[in-house]
Chain A
Amino acid sequence: MRRAIRPVLAALFWVAVWQFAAWSVHKDFLLASPFSVVARLGQLGITADFWATVGWSLGRIAAGFIAAAVVGALSAAAAVRFRAVDALLSPLIATIRSAPVVSFIILLLLWTDSSSLPMYTSFLMVLPVMYANVLEGIKYRDRSLIEAAAVFSVPLARRVRAIDIPAVLPFFAAACRIGVGLAWKSGVAAEVIGVANGSIGEQLYEAKVFLSSVDLFAWTVVIVALSVVCEKLVLRLLRSVPGRMDGARP
């Protein structure tokens, strides 16, 4: 019970600090209070525009994340199977991983319109994490099970379902946990820089233009909430996978 209350108490403490700071500054455009942010969220939540904006960003960022998960996992599998693929992809992934996100955003803006920018940006930011983790997972598979499957001539698809996927899943889940947050951070950053029409990033940009810290905080709370909900959803989905695993399903 005590352990359960602890994070709530910690959150309340920081909200109190925020409230105290807002009182001290006493200028809503510089630092909005938690109460005014909650009130603003209440106003936003009942408008259709708010949900349209959330849907716009969610769709594109989720598409980028899912594409990165699929491409990252398949590339890692190909890299383990074919050394040439590993040799080709390793420097590319290392470059994407270490390059600043704004460089990609600006480059992508030259090539594409701002409406698809968040999708490509979140894809590029999540891809190296997925690739590296899945690669690690594949390398840590139980060799003795792979050998047993070879002796019994277990078909590849069946082996992948029964042995490979359960072994890689914890690594994939860890990548998803990191990747969801990264997708939202980079995707929204791309929306702000590209001033993507109808996006959450556009709302943040307008908050800056109109010096509205209450809108800035309100939309930031929305982004954090969306990121947390997406992470929980993805992890719940992945947790259900081993239960449905049956490598020998006819």
Chain B
Amino acid sequence: MTASPIIFQGVTKRYGDHPVLAGVALILEPDSVTALTGPNGVGKTTLARLLLGLEAPDSGFIAGVDGLRRAAVFQEDRLCAHLDAVANVRLVLDRGHRASAEEELALAGLGSEHLSKPVSELSGGQRRRVVIARAMTVRAPLVVLDEPFTGLDADTKPAVMEYVRERLVGSTALLITHDPAEAEFLGARVVTLQYSPGIIV
């Protein structure tokens, strides 16, 4: 449970001479999902990186994130290719129990025959399920999902989305997506980042 909202106030970010975000003001309501949409290159991923603490804003501030445990589904898989699915999930678990990692992967729809293979041998969709299970298993109060369902086939996507919806209960989440149906399914409040450099409209 996150007690207070996360507030972006006047957040700006530039890479060299290229301004990416210009005075972003945004509130992420506690224990709910906020969907961030907008055209490519407008700064959605940059905003997610700021929220995850991977970058610092050039000016402005982000309040309410100090001390929060974070989890993320990045746009890219970011898995250790030589480790199997279970080891990748256990890597982020506090106590590294194999049983809970296997349970979580099963809930994300990864078959038991794929658990012990190096993730480099899994298909794109299977790897995506590992990535999602890794983020959901830590039960973090702050979760960032950057186009999390990309690469899942139409047959398995609804079940994985249902799993994510259940796991996000009690977390404050930022979902970056181009698909309004995903935002609606997760019950998200939709905000749009527009223009370049990006501002919330």
Name A residues whose Cβ lies closer than 8 Å to a Cβ of B.
144-145, 147-154, 158, 162-163, 166, 242, 245-250
Q: A147-B54, A154-B91, A248-B93 are in contact. List 12 more A-B contacts (CB 8 A).
A: A144-B76, A145-B78, A147-B78, A151-B53, A152-B70, A152-B91, A152-B134, A162-B87, A247-B90, A248-B89, A248-B101, A250-B97
Which A residues are CB-close (under 8 A) to B71? 151-152
Count how many chain B residues have C-beta atoms less than 8 Å from C-beta atoms of the other chain.
26
Prevailing SS type, chain A contact patch: helix
Partner of A247, one of B54, B76, B87, B98: B87
Interface of B (DSSP majority class): loop
The minimal Cβ–Cβ distance linking A70 to chain B, given in whole angstroms, is: 23
The interface residues of chain B lying within 8 Å CB-to-CB of A150 are 53-54
A-B contact pairs, 11 of them (CB 8 A): A148-B72, A149-B91, A151-B72, A152-B92, A152-B138, A153-B69, A158-B91, A162-B80, A166-B80, A247-B90, A250-B95
CB of B142, distance to nearest CB on chain A (Å): 10
From B74, B80, B89, B90, name the one whose CB has the most chain A CB atoms within 10 angstroms: B80
Tell me if B52 and A151 are in contact (CB < 8 A). Answer: yes
Least Cβ distance of B173 to chain A in Å? 14
Given known A242-B82, A245-B82, contact A162–B91 (CB-CB < 8 A)? yes
B180 within 8 A of A: no
* Chain B residues, Cβ within 8 Å of A148: 72, 74, 78
CB-CB nearest in chain B for A247: B91
Residue of B nearest to A150 (CB): B54
Contact across chains for A145 and B80 when beta carbons are under 8 A apart: yes
- Bound together, the chains give a CA A151 to CA B95 distance in angstroms of 17
- Bound CA–CA A242/B93 (angstroms): 21
* C-alpha gap A47/B82 in the complex (Å): 47
Query: Which residues 64-90 of B sit at the A interface, judged by CB distance below 8 A?
Result: 69-72, 74, 76, 78, 80, 82-83, 87, 89-90
Q: Which residue of chain B has its CB nearest to the CB of A166?
A: B82
Taking CB as reference atom, which chain A residue is nearest B95? A250
Q: Which chain B residues border A162 with CB–CB below 8 Å?
A: 80, 83, 87, 91
Which residues of chain B have C-beta atoms less than 8 A from A166's C-beta? Answer: 80, 82
Q: Which residues of B contact A147 (CB under 8 A)?
A: 54, 78
Q: Quick check: B72 and A250 within 8 Å, CB to CB? A: no
Q: How far is the CA of A249 from the CA of B84 in the complex (A)?
A: 12
In contact, A248 and B72 (Cβ under 8 angstroms) = no
Give the top 8 A-B pairs by smallest Cβ distance, nearest first. Answer: A248-B90, A152-B92, A250-B96, A148-B78, A248-B91, A248-B96, A247-B91, A144-B78
A239 to chain B minimum Cβ distance, whole angstroms, is 12
Per a CB cutoff under 8 Å, which of A154, A242, A245, A250 touches B92? A154
Write out the residue numbers on chain A whose beta carbons fall within 8 Å of the beta carbon of B69: 153
User: Complex: how many Å from CA A144 to CA B82?
Assistant: 15
Least Cβ distance of B196 to chain A in Å?
A: 24
Would A249 and B138 count as touching, CB distance under 8 A?
no
Name the one of A151, A163, A246, A247 contacting B70, with C-beta atoms under 8 angstroms. Answer: A151
